[in-house]
Each structure stands twice: as structure tokens, then as C-alpha cells.
Structure 1
């Protein structure tokens, strides 16, 4: 079952942010774009490379109004697995989350989902491209972003006239 288009479920968690522990909830994400970036475990082989890649695009994300938090981002603890269960990525019996990325819009609706196996890292530049496309689509009703769309590129107006011509 897809969760794209569904609302972010309520959660509360403790996060590490700017050198201290703070309480964070779903209410902190409403009103802005948000990225939820799950990884299986600390101090593994792929996870640190992904976190570094995400940190490298932090300023661009902030420029788009996307909240990732700051370490450059919030690092949430999910000891009771509420958040990973809410997103459907908890591996039962193992107690670890799958490698998953979820993007929510300012209304708290899940717009983007990417889940990969534990041995496959994600690409922050592609995440940034997808967020830009999702923002464009939200701000420009009647337009959609084709494959490999980049900011400023041509979009499409969905129509039966396009069938077989693309």
C-alpha cells in the first residue's frame, strides 16, 4: 500500500540539534517542506556516506524552504519505533528501519518516497531534484515534470493529445 498522498502521522521524539537534546513532533514539520531520512544503524558502511551527502546539500535545501534541521539536521531517536512504523519501514523481528527517504509538503502530506535495500546508498542530488519538481508541481497546477526534469526545464500539460508523442 502506497503512503504517497497520505498525511504524516503524529509522533514525538527526542532529537539532537545544535549540541543539545530537544523535543520534536509532527507539528514542527507542518507549514514547511520536510525530509525524513531513515537509515538502518549508526557506524555502518553506507549510512555515513549518505549523511555526508545530505549535509552537502543542506544549504540548497534550506534555500528551498525545506526543513531538515541542523546538525546540519535534526537527528531523531526512534527507540520505540513509532516513527519507522508510521512510515512502514520497520523490519519486524530485526528492530531496524529500512533505508528510506520521505518528503512531506507544508500540509503534512507525503509527496515523495524512496526505499532502498541496506546495501544501496541514496543520492542527495537526486533528492534535491525531486523536491524541486514536487514544489514546482504543487505551485503550478496543470503542469507535470517529465523524467530528468531540472529546474527551469520544460514541463508538460497532461492531455490525451500527448499520448504516443512523447
Structure 2
């Protein structure tokens, strides 16, 4: 289980902003980050997910969250996909190439024998600690708006020690302050 664990060291090349850039675990520390694994470029569900994140990227940025998508494709493949797909052409966040599978294995989402990543989503706090993770089956796409809700909840809990966000919590809703007095009364 990776929740409440610090991310493992890594270095990789990503495609971002029309350039190849080096990315490491250090780039995920000091701010909130979403690491978003997907099986492969030039596929079917994957571009809809990356496009959904691209459409909501400004809101993630407003919350101080950086996004890093990762597949076991190379950074060269990410560049080609970005240049040939209108959907992927909207992506402004880093698209990390992980052809060795090191990062994918570090996060426990490698499909061994296939060389592909599962659909894994990880929210990492400014200390480099995983606060949320979700892994879905091949055919189940993710939702950036729901991820934003979870990011807001994690940020709220970090900023308000002693409070927790109940089911369906939305920004501005009431929270709970766990105590002996609440046991059996919810």
C-alpha cells in the first residue's frame, strides 16, 4: 500500500511545452502533484482521460497542483502523439516517458509481462507522501472533476488538523471533527 508512503526516487525525460525536459521525484516535492499513469499512447480511453485533465488543468494549477502523466511509451512517442492528436495537443502538463518501467513499478502499477501501466492515479502532498491512490481496470476511464474534489479534500484536511471530510464532501461543506462524542452518532 502506497498511501502515507514517500515516493521513490526517479529521473525521467518528459515532453512538455514543445520540449523534452528532465523530471525527477524532486519535482514532485514542495507542491501538490498528481501522477497519472495510463497504458499507452495512441489508444482509446487514454486520450479521453488526458484530454479531460487538459480541460481542467487551469483549475488544478489554481489549487497549486502540478500534473504528470506517465506511460511506458518514450518521450518521443509522447511528442508524436501531441503533434498528431487534437485532444492530446491540448495537454500542457508534463508527459513522462517511462520505457524502463522504473516509475511504473515504483508506484506498483506495472502490468508485468505486458510492459504497460495500469490506470493509476496518485495524489502526492508537498512532502512527497502519497495521500490518495486509485487504480481502475482497462476499460474504466477516470474523471478529472472527481479528482479535483479529492484534491480539495486532501488539501483541506492538511490545512485543518483534527478535521476530516465526510462522503460526498464538496468545498465549503461541513467537515467532521472526530471525537469520542461522535462515536455512534453519525
Q: Does TM-score exceed 0.5, indicating one fold? A: yes
Q: Give how far 1:146 is off.
A: 0.2
Q: Give how far 1:11 is off.
A: 0.4
**Aligned equivalents of 2:41, 2:113: Cα separation in 1:** 18
Q: Which runs of 4+ in 1 moved over 2 A?
A: none
* Superposition RMSD in Å: 1.1
**Aligned equivalents of 1:48, 1:80: Cα separation in 2:** 22
Structure 2 gaps of 5+ residues are: 69-89
- Structure number with higher helix proportion: 2
Q: Establish whether residue 21 from structure 1 lines up as the match of residue 20 from structure 2.
A: yes
TM-score normalised by length of structure 1: 0.96
User: What residue number does 2:109 align with?
Assistant: 89
Q: What's the CA shift string for 1:17-68, capped at 9, x where partnerless?
A: 1101011101111100001000011121111111111111101100000012
Q: What's the CA shift string for 1:89-143, capped at 9, x where partnerless?
A: 0011111000000010000000010100010001110100000000000000000
TM-score normalised by length of structure 2: 0.86
**Aligned equivalents of 1:124, 1:21: Cα separation in 2:** 25
Structure 1 gaps of 5+ residues are: none
